[in-house]
Amino acid sequence: MKGRPALFLDRDGVLTVENSYITRPDELRLETGAAEAVRTLNEAGVLAVVVSNQSGVARGLMTEQDMAAVHARLEQLLGEDGARLDAAYYCPNHLEGAVERYSRDASCRKPQTGMIDAAVRDLGIDLSASAMVGDQLTDAELAERAGIPCVLVETGKGTTSFEQARAAGLPVAELVPGVLDAARWMVSRLKSR
């Protein structure tokens, strides 16, 4: 048995409305269709796994406890519509951070594959049947390094990132309006395999 497929989801600009640094739970808003997207994955047996850079911790804008509270709010909002994440991985590090403990390069920071590697190990994911959905160039770079397809959404910074990815020669499987379209693409892809 090879494991289950996963859709790796960036948070800001994909599941949640892009808002610079979301440091408090009351700042978090779901993107249109986010809960339905995650529920679609749940019903199809696809793991819904968040992989998100959160350099606000390294920059001193929030603590790890603040980040956990924001994530708990995300889980609550999704749960209100019957959707659940299977796991979430966050990287608090940034080389230019103001907090010494987090002011470093790290294998978890996208486009490094550390968060995906951890998810594969922790959840028994079949990487060959998985994909990444994001709105930034680092999401496309991460997908290429991990050897999985990338879908970019037009929400957040996706339209600009799509052009940047094309200019950089990075493969993007699809550019879709939002995360619900990405979830449907993933389910359709698995059915056609």
pLDDT in tens, 153-171: 999 999 999 999 999 999 9
Q: At what angle do helices 34-44 and 64-79 cross, to 10 degrees?
A: 80
Phi-psi region of 66 (alpha: psi -120 to 50; beta: other; left: phi over 0): alpha
Residue 173 has pLDDT above 60, yes or no: yes
Give the Cα separation of 64 and 92 in Å (integer). Answer: 8
- φ, ψ (nearest 5 deg) of residue 126: -85, 100
Q: What's the chain's average pLDDT?
A: 96
Which two tokens mark 160?
């600009």
Q: What is the pLDDT of residues 56-84, one digit of tens each?
A: 999 999 999 999 999 999 999 999 999 99
Q: Which residues are catalytic?
A: 10, 12
Residue 14 has pLDDT above 80, yes or no: yes
- Return the CATH number of the domain spanning residue range 6-192: 3.40.50.1000
Residue 1 has pLDDT above 80, yes or no: no
For the chain, domain boundaries: 6-192
Q: How many Cβ atoms sit within 10 Å of the Cβ of residue 126?
A: 14
Q: How many Cβ atoms sit within 10 Å of the Cβ of residue 182?
A: 29
Q: What is the mean pLDDT of residues 173-181?
A: 97
In 3D space, the residue among 179, 9, 32 whose CA is nearest the CA of residue 90 turns out to be 9
Sign of CA dihedral 22, 27, 28, 33: negative
Q: Looking at residue 101, what DSSP letter applies?
A: G
Q: For residue 172, what pLDDT is reported?
A: 96
Q: What is the pLDDT of residues 97-134, one digit of tens each?
A: 899 999 988 899 999 999 999 999 999 999 999 999 99
Q: For residue 89, what pLDDT is reported?
A: 98
pTM for this prediction: 0.96
